[in-house]
Amino acid sequence: MTITAPPDLSPGSDRPSDPFDPVPVAVHLRPPRRAGAEERFAATDPRKGWDLAAHPRVARVLRNRKLQFFLILPNQLVFWLVIMLGLLGTVVPGLNFGTAITWYIWFCLVFVMMVVVGRAWCAMCPFGGFAEWIQRRTFWQRTQKTLGLGRKFPEPLARYGLLLSVGSFLLLTWIEEFFNIAGPGNPMDTSFMVLGIVTSALIFFLAFERRSFCRYVCPLSALIGSVGAVGTAAGFRTRDRQVCLDCKTKDCMRGGEEGFGCPWYTWPGSADSNLTCGLCTECYKACPSDNIGFYLQPPMTSVVAPSRRRADVAWSVALLWGLVFFQQFNATNVYASLDGWLTKYTGIAYPNPVDYLGIIVAMAAVFAGIAWVASRALVRDDLPTPMAAAKRSFIDKTSRFRAFFVPVAYGVIPVVGADYFARQLPKFFKHAARIVPSVGAWFGLGSTHSSLYNTRILSNPSIVTVQVAVIALGTLAAAVATWRIASRDLVPVSDHPVATRVTSLAIVAAVGLTAGILYVLMHAAS
């Protein structure tokens, strides 16, 4: 005898035989469409053995409603400390714990997590976490009534998926560069920046339902989401898709007694990448059939395998590539003279918004332009248009250009991710040790003369070597990914398989080379 779910609560059974509940007699739901599910999800469904939740101890931790609270809590404490110290602590940036932890440690750590795990940061983020506590009126309980207006995020913006998030990342980066916050400059600026993010998160959480902020607005969402695709966390996925298709209640989406409905608008039954899984464990808790697992996947699965390639991800990658290019390019002499010239005419100091946005958009446009030319030359012009395509939104529309651009953009994710990662390395290698004197400064012990303050983990030339190595690794990974993407998505739409493979690999190589060379040039310029 085993403990079973009560028959009237198991999804799929509409209890027509239960004489005590006459409702099911009248219910005659249409059968869901199942055809094609096996093939569609074959490449992205994680392997059975990679389900961490299969271990009873892990399952128990995941089922605990306090799990996310305890993930958020330490970050929450650190961030309020950052705000307080930024406002009240020493003005020497390197000695202020607020700036030191934010820019020397945290930012690098987020990038490591993103590349290795995916949205791990989102599960512990103090910004969204704080706002969500207020929105749900609780630290961890499953509450029924939320605080705030609970509006739907406006569709005119939501239809562009991650692009708004890219926009807010560009804005935040510009502010950060303009005020030299991460320089790091005045510690107070760091406090204001963090406060600004917390406040805007709170406003969005109170105005809109669930984690609309995280999904559409958060400056880091697009970056973590797209670069996180190389990560090894597949997230929470269905264990048996047929059970999910049979389920008539979708507690994972609507919310059940034990868990909230997915705050990220993801259904474990159809997730084919880790893009929108915030690892918050709510679906796992809510599922009445214990049919959700917490899966790992081989690195880059979410880059190579998804059947649904989203245009917003592709454009995000292009723009994010533009941004990281700008951040490298701005260290060169060519940029200095361009920015100086613009500043003279507009009166706005570095970075001038015109060249800032201009360079980013130009790089994205170059990337897309090459893809466009390649698509004209390589993609067949007689691609069948699916019947439903007419009503598809921006994310899913089809065209000859998109048939080439979108998969190739996915392919360069590893090298763009490597580029962002490499850019954080100097701060870490040069200044990470300052965290010790900055803590000592609370007790009047740390000073700029402290040996740890001036300790460097690596010298400048070594840092460049590491950076170039990271880029090389990223390029290699991107090349492998692109090769596989080409086989899956590009060759089938082209009459020139060899040229298609060569062109897509050339694009990856161009991005990798540009990034690598720029690190050498940056070093030379400094």
Partner 1 sequence: MSVIDLPIDRASDAPPEHPSIQVLGDRCAGCQECSIRCPTGALTLDPTTWTVVGDDAACVGCRQCERTCPFSAVVIEGPVLAGARVPVVHEHVGALAGSRVETRQGIASWADALAEAARCLDCPDPTCVRGCPAHNDIPGFVRAVAEGDLDTAHAVLRRTTFLPDVCARVCDQAVQCEGACTWSLAGSAPVAIGALERFVADNAPVPPLLPAGASAGAGDYAAEAHDAAGSNGADRGADDRLEVAVVGSGPAGIGAASALVAAGAKVTVFERDSEPGGLLRWGIPDFTLPDAVARRPWETLVEAGVDLRLAHEVSADDLDLLTFDFDAVVVAAGASVPLRLPVPGGDLEGVWDATRFLTGAHAALAQGTSLEVLSRPATTGRAARVLVLGAGNTAMDVARSARRLGAEAICVDWMDRAYAPVRPDELDEAADEGVDVRFATTVVRLEGEDGRVTAARMVPTRQRKAGTTPEVLDGPETVETVDLVVMAMGYRVPPELLELDGGTLVPRRVDGFPDRRWLGSGIFANPAPPFARHQPVGALARGREHARREAALPRRERTWVAGDALVGPATVVEAMAQGKRAAESILDHQPRRPGRARPVAGRVLVAVESRTGTTAARAEALSGALAGAGADVRVLPLASVSTTELAWADALVVATWVEGLVVAKVGPARATRAWLDRLPPLAGMPVALLCTYAVSPGRTLPLMRVSVERHGGRVVAAEALGRRSPSAAADGNATKAMAGALLEAVAGRAE
Residue among 65, 308, 484, 523 that touches partner 1 (CB under 8 A) = 308
Q: Which two tokens stand for residue 466?
A: 């590491």
- If one asks whether residue 447 binds partner 1 (CB under 8 A), the answer comes out as no
- If one asks whether residue 305 binds partner 1 (CB under 8 A), the answer comes out as no
Residue among 43, 245, 354, 361 that touches partner 1 (CB under 8 A) = 245
- Alpha carbons 135 and 201: distance in angstroms, whole number: 11
Q: ω into residue 351 within 30 of 0, thus cis?
A: yes
Binding positions for partner 1, 60-79, rule CB under 8 A: 60
- Give whole-number Cα distances, 361 to 224, 327, 369, 467, in Å: 20, 13, 12, 25
Name the minimum Å distance from CB 210 to partner 1: 9
Q: How many residues bind partner 1 (CB under 8 A)?
A: 67
| Residue whose token pair is 């941004």 | 323
- If one asks whether residue 8 binds partner 1 (CB under 8 A), the answer comes out as yes
Q: Whose CA is closest to 300, among 423, 467, 412, 223?
A: 412
Pick 56 or 347: Cβ nearer partner 1: 56
Query: What angle (nearest 5°) sits at the alpha carbon of residue 211, between those of residues 285 and 389?
Result: 100
Name the minimum Å distance from CB 476 to partner 1: 31
Q: Whose CA is closest to 329, among 405, 419, 459, 221?
A: 419
Looking at 66-74, 103-111, 126-134, 262-270, which segment touches partner 1 (CB under 8 A)?
A: 262-270
CB proximity list for 152: less than 8 A, separation 6 or greater: 158, 208, 209, 212
CB proximity list for 506: less than 8 A, separation 6 or greater: none
Pick 247 or 479: Cβ nearer partner 1: 247
Name the minimum Å distance from CB 409 to partner 1: 17
Handedness of CA 469, 473, 474, 478 (dihedral sign): positive
C-alpha gyration radius of the chain: 25
Pick 312 or 419: Cβ nearer partner 1: 312
Looking at 250-258, 352-360, 447-455, 478-486, which segment touches partner 1 (CB under 8 A)?
A: 250-258
- If one asks whether residue 158 binds partner 1 (CB under 8 A), the answer comes out as yes
Binding positions for partner 1, 313-332, rule CB under 8 A: none
Pick 53 or 244: Cβ nearer partner 1: 244
Residue among 31, 49, 347, 444 that touches partner 1 (CB under 8 A) = 31
- If one asks whether residue 344 binds partner 1 (CB under 8 A), the answer comes out as no
- If one asks whether residue 266 binds partner 1 (CB under 8 A), the answer comes out as yes
Which region holds residue 12: left if phi is over 0, alpha if psi is between -120 and 50, else beta? left
- Alpha carbons 136 and 147: distance in angstroms, whole number: 6
Residues near partner 1 (CB under 8 A): 1-6, 8-9, 19-23, 25-33, 35-37, 40, 56, 60, 144, 152, 155, 158-161, 244-245, 248-251, 253-254, 256-258, 261-262, 265-267, 269-272, 288, 307-308, 312, 386, 388, 391-396
